[in-house]
Structure 1
Amino acid sequence: MRLLVLLAALALAVTGCSGSGPARPGVLSVGIREPATLLPADLADQAGRLVTGALWTPLADYDAASGKLTPRAAASIESADRVHWTVKLRPAAFHDGTPVTAQSYVDTWRAVAAAHWVSSPVLTKLLRAREIRAAAPDTIALTLDRPSGQVPALLSAPGLVPLPASVLASRGWDGFAKAPVGNGPYRLDGGWKPGSGGTLKRVGAGKAEEIELRVGEPAAQYDAVKAGTLDLATEVPGSQHEAMHGEFGDRHASWALPEAGYLAFPVTNPRFADATVRHGFALGVDRAALEAGPLAHQVDPAKAMLPPADAPGERSGTCRPCSFDAAAGKALLTQAGFPGGATVYFGPGAEAWTRTLTVGLHKALDVSVTAQAAPRSDQLDGPSTLDVKLATASPYELLSELATASGYTDAVFHQNLALADAAATPEEAGELYRLAENQLLRDLPVAPLWAGHGHAVWAPRVHDVTATPFTGPVLAGIGVS
């Protein structure tokens, strides 16, 4: 008996993932981390977005680079004056069989706006609608407080998907997150099992009949794909980034994440009011050391103020403040008469890379730089690191957040931002966003440090893997042979 138990334990250790076994036809096994939540409006982590991206269908997909809108749950999102917007819905039902109507969205958005969730500012600070109502069972009517061409990008946010009437009435958000009911191509069968995962069953336009979601650590999941006991690993540990090219050939993918890191300066503080000082600090940052060190190859050193997931097309010029030039940075501080000494403040989750940043700044610039947890105050006497996770693909969200974080109030910048918001076409908006970005790079109230990216590897029987910034691998589009 003891021998049988030992053999079973050894078999489990070899697979590297509980519940794994021979591949089953039509069943896709996917390794992920434990999602922070499965409540769409309150998630910002890659695992949560991956799962909810299969459970829900958003109104549309919006590509920041091209400005292209691809209708999904919406048949159209239109406006004649950019103040009054009309959203026409395709016929759809929730997984509990109840219809998805315009009122479903109106009631969901009211609940989101009233909450303190990740996606709440999309409605209260970015959309800013004076009225949202159901004009017909399949028609949502919005009236804004100003003309805005950003509505399609905002309404495509994954956090604004509809919730069924049952949870909107009960407000049982925690229970709903354990057994979510969406309107997407897959439903969650049997609820979510923390530490283990869940099973998605196809109910719409998905390629795999069933998707097994297995919670675990990326290193074990990477090895499980190599061993043939897992079909897809949705995160690759930094230690395997080089090896995956040889071990998986063309069976790997990377994509830009809606995440970025910055160093925000308190521009109203006399010691950091001079842009020369801010440029000096920016040139003293060894971004490659951050990427290879505490950020474990899960990011790319910044090459622009806007990360690829949020940028309107390719940037034409170089980003001088994104380079590492210790001698030039030190010279700028000397030129500006910087008295020396600075504390860099960090928020939750950013301590490790902030401390590495300050050690590098001290070495490069020959000034005393220390790291400290940010106090509960809006008036900081030194720079602060920002770990920004975006809720939408609109550059307006990020640019306005960066200005707020640093106290940057330049009138021309904010005018360009307002004009970009009101622009009639994505092309016109993109040009204005680039003007605003260029001004930030010149005045540098914030210095760009890094942009997040995701990686996935998969087994030979897996095909048609594509990824987007907000969902990662699109589970509904992945086939298995």
Structure 2
Amino acid sequence: MRLLALLAVLALAVTGCSGSDPARPGVLTVGIREPSTLLPADLSDQAGRLVTGALWTPLADYDAASGKVTPRAAESIDSADRVHWTVKLRAGTFHDGTPVTAQSYVDTWRAVAAGHWFSTPVLTELLRAKEITAPAPDTIAVTLDRPSGQVPALLSAPGLVPLPASVLASHDWNGFAKAPVGNGPYRLDGPWKPGSGGTLKRVGQGNAQEIELRVGEPAAQYDAVKAGTLDLVTEVPGEKHDAMHADFGDDHHATWALPRAGYLAFPVADPRFADATVRHGFALGVDRAALEAGPLAHQADPAKALLPPSDAPGERSGTCRPCSFDAAAGKALLKQVAFPGGATIYFGPGAEEWTRTLTVGLHKALDVSVTAQAKPGTGPLDGPATLDLKLATASPYELLSQLASESGYTDDVFRQNLALADAAATPAEAGELYRLAENQLLRDLPVAPLWSGHGHAVWSSRVHDVTTTPFTGPVLAGVSV
């Protein structure tokens, strides 16, 4: 009996499940990885955004493809001149019972702008407001330093949700992340338990009365959903990718675009990479399908455009020639310009494995010496660098400006098109200008697109109404059991 009890304990530790029957009326059980934090402004991982997406309600939802803004905590986000913006709030309260007011947002954004968090650049580099005030409890007034139509997209960022006055006064960010207080349809019942998870209780509009979040490894959680001891898992490991379709069918799994993409950035100021022909040669030498099936473990798609689907203003009409794998053409381009050969490709944290696979593939395809090396802390690079970019907003402006910055690309026409897109009066006009800027980057190729991330979820037969968004993945408040 003691042996059986020990085996039962070990089984629970592996699966990350509580061992209880998930088929309880109104209770949804969800398997996730350990979130990096539950402080919204410092989040860039899928697990954390899934949880905070249930704990908070953003000002609005923004769809990059259509430019459509769906008000949530805001009643409206309007401007007559795209310089002076007014946000009208719906009535709302935090989970501690205090009201959510315009001052809540003003004070939160002041803290975010002063911090060194993942979402800080949304305010300091993208929004660039001259003044943000609360002229009335239900009104936020934003004055920009230039006309911008991107304000609804930026203010809809999941990192700009409001924080209660208690943590804004104490600045105990670490303590708050362990017991977050939001304004969303669910509250956390007790503190978050690292390595275990937490329970969400419904306090607003949500289908499940209670959501049990269980931290564990995706492979074991996948098997638990298949066995009926877990309702939903929000990540499918690479080894389960092909089986997913047969195990769960079209009605019980989903794939969605993540706000994440990989690139190869060239040092355009370096004489060896100053010619766009060299850059195109390297781009054509990348076997993106091998990266997707290998080190990226089916968690990404080979790039078909510069802008990933999560950030793209509608479908791209033309083909992306630099996204193709054509070793012969790539080798011919390098020979055409007498590329001297030999290149070091630098990688940052978390990108070593797929960068090393990339370098092996480039060496084989282009017949030049290519090695991989960790990126130094300071100083210019003498070779290309891989980028694994995680986005804080759905605005193409964020990504396009970051790509130009990472490569040192300073073309005036590109900068002008980017500025015009930012200032555009309508989403359609902005989308056309963003595509012009994207096309110019694909022509000059200071960065080569490699892959775009996607997420997977599978769920049991008792689960219904699963919808996904790029930033949250499955929308927990909408899931029915």
TM over 0.5: yes
Q: 1:131 — aligned with what?
A: 131
Contact 2:283 2:330 in 1 (8 A): yes
Q: Distance in 1 between matches of 2:471 and 2:6?
A: 43
Matched with 1:18 is: 17
Q: Following superposition of structure 1 onto structure 2, how do residues 295-334 of structure 1 map, counting pairs within 5 Å?
A: 295-334=296-335
User: What is the TM-score of this pair, normalised by structure 2?
Assistant: 0.98
8 Å contact kept, 2:31–2:216: yes
Q: Which amino acid counterpart does residue 110 of structure 2 have in structure 1?
A: R
How many Å apart are 1:4 and its aligned residue? Answer: 5.3
SS at match of 1:176: helix
- Structure 2 Cα separation of the partners of residues 55 and 165 of structure 1: 16
Give yes or no for the alignment of 1:227 onto 2:249: no
Match of 1:370 in 2: 371
Code of the aligned partner of 1:56:
W
Aligned-CA RMSD value: 1.1
- The corresponding residue for 1:409 is 410
**2:306 aligns to what SS in structure 1?**
coil
Cα distance in structure 2, aligned partners of 1:414 and 1:19: 54
Aligned position for 2:264:
263
C-alpha contact (below 8 Å) 1:149/1:421 kept by paired residues: yes
SS in 2 for 1:193: coil
SS of the residue 2:190 aligns to: strand
- Unmatched tracts of structure 2, length 5 or more: none
Task: Indicate the SS of the match to 2:315.
Answer: coil
Partner in structure 1 of residue 36 of structure 2:
36
Offset, 1:285: 0.3
Cα distance in structure 1, aligned partners of 2:424 and 2:166: 39
Contact 1:208–1:479 (8 Å) recurs in 2: yes
TM-score by length of 1: 0.98
Partners of 1:56 and 1:161 within 8 A in 2: yes
Shift of 1:9: 4.0
Counterpart Cα distance in 1 of 2:151 and 2:244: 40
1:139-163 alpha-carbon deviations (Å, 9 max, x no partner): 0000000000000000000000000
Q: CA deviation at 1:241?
A: 1.3
2:50 paired residue number: 50
Alignment partner of 1:178 is 2:178: yes
Aligned residue number for residue 166 of structure 1: 166
Amino acid in structure 2 at the alignment position of 1:342: A
- The equivalent residue for 1:89 is 89
Contact 1:62 1:70 in 2 (8 A): yes
Give the 3-state SS of the residue equivalent to 1:194 in structure 2.
coil
8 A contact 1:20–1:230 mirrored in 2: no
Q: Residues 15 and 217 of structure 2 are in contact (CA less than 8 Å); yes or no, is this contact kept in structure 1? A: no
- Per the alignment, do residues 217 and 3 of structure 1 end up closer, same or farther by CA in structure 2, a change over 3 Å counting? closer
Relative distance call for 1:88 and 1:386 in structure 2 (3 A) is same
Percent identity between matched residues is: 85
Kept in 1, the 8 Å contact 2:15–2:216? The answer is no
- Distance in 2, Cα, partners of 1:239 & 1:443: 38
Deviation at 1:11, TM superposition (A): 6.5
Cα shift at 1:337: 1.2
Contact 2:17 2:230 in 1 (8 A): no
Report if aligned partners of 2:16, 2:196 keep a CA contact under 8 Å in 1: no
Instruction: Provide the secondary structure at the position in 2 that maps to 1:463.
Output: coil
CA contact (8 A) 2:327 2:366 kept: yes
Q: State the distance in 1 between where 2:282 and 2:6 align.
A: 58
Correspondence list, 1:61-460, <5 A: 61-249=61-249, 250-460=251-461
Q: Cα–Cα, structure 1 residues 8 and 371, in superposed 2: closer, same or farther, change >3 Å?
A: closer
- Per-residue CA deviation, residues 96-128 of structure 1 (Å, 9 max, x unaligned), is 000000000000000000001000000000000
Residues 218 and 236 of structure 1 are in contact (CA less than 8 Å); yes or no, is this contact kept in structure 2? yes
Quickly say closer, same or farther: Cα 1:440–1:165, change in 2 above 3 A: same
Indicate if the aligned counterparts of 1:17 and 1:224 stay in contact, CA closer than 8 A.
no
Q: Please tell me the residue identity of whatever aligns with 2:341.
A: G
Q: Is the 8 A contact 1:269 1:381 kept in 2?
A: yes
Distance 2:244 2:435 in 1: 35
CA drift at 1:17: 3.2
- Asked if the contact 2:16–2:217 (Cα under 8 Å) also holds between the matched residues in 1, the reply is no
